[in-house]
Chains A and B, each alone.
Chain A
Amino acid sequence: MEDNKVLRQQLATMRQSFFDEGILDKHYVQVEELEDKDNPHFAEEVMTMFFRDSTKLIATVEHALEKSPCDLPKMDKYLHQLKGSSSSVGASTVWSAINKLREILKDGDIERFKTQFLCLRDEHEKLKGNLEPYFQLLRQVGPVETAQRPM
């Protein structure tokens, strides 16, 4: 029970740091609020779906960047999709990086685009790197009801 309490505190601190650092925003809170006893891991489920799609889209944009000439409208279409899903799950820094990329794309500056694309990839990896251990710990600790069951 005591170990659980310590782990819960660790979880709470991790979670708060995501908001303090701005990597997640209030839309993520709405995702969490959709959890209930029938859907206790809904947030993890949604973030797993998000990372599955976002990893694919980022790889697709990276592949499109290697072609010459670059198909700018197609790249913008992929970025638009990525922007939509990152906004829905509250992936704030990823969303900001995408917006910057789309602005650069309008100017057609491929070199600046490539630099900013690396930032997007970094933010995406940072978010993934933060959330994976968080969800692992969350599953270990279990939902609140489990913690309150008598030994």
Chain B
Amino acid sequence: MSNFEEAHVLVVDDSSVDRRLIERLLRVSSCKVTVVDSGLKALQLLGVDGLKVDLILTDYSIPGMTGYELLKKIKKSSKFKEIPVVIMSSENVLQRTGKCLEEGAKDFILKPVKLANVKKLKNYMKRPSTTRFNYFCCIYYYIFFLFFLSLFLFFCVFVCLSQ
């Protein structure tokens, strides 16, 4: 991913130890991080506070709203459904993985989260910086095109005048 700006990840986990570890893993991977301890706070930040994020990384087992319920709410929302969601869990339950992926989760990470898991997250992220990069590339191609077109027209005029 080209890094004209840092990717922003919203982490949802009720374990303070895991929040600190995952936050640090993301920061060493050049991500901007916001951490919360509940699904409700995550929705508040996104909805009420208008927080813009490139990915949501949530634990499956959180009190109140589970990570799965948060995923469903995100995917049902017209405003947030495009935000990629990745679920984490300390338990490898196939049924759990299956239903999260069916509901639209991009991936399911088995805890403890490793640096390799975090590096992989960039593949799922929205790419506003890439869109900007493409826009600049188009401008450059357009300028080159105009330049060569003018050269060509100048050459044609020159040929006509010399005849």
Question: Could you tell me which A residues sit within 8 Å of B by CB distance?
Answer: 27, 30-31, 34, 36, 39, 42, 45-46, 49-50, 53, 80-81, 83-85, 87-89
Contacts and interface: CB of A to CB of B under 8 A. Distances in A.
A42 B24 contact: yes
Interface string B1-35: 00000000000001111101100110010000000
A46 B99 CA distance: 32
Contacts, number: 47
Contact of A88 (B14, B17, B61): B17
Nearest to B115: A30
Interface of B: 14-18, 20-21, 24-25, 28, 61, 90, 111-115
Contact of A30 (B20, B90, B111, B114): B114
B22 to A, nearest CB: 9
A39 B25 CA distance: 12
Given A30-B115, A34-B28, A88-B112, A83 B20 contact: no
A38 to B, nearest CB: 10
A45 B24 CA distance: 12
Nearest to B88: A84
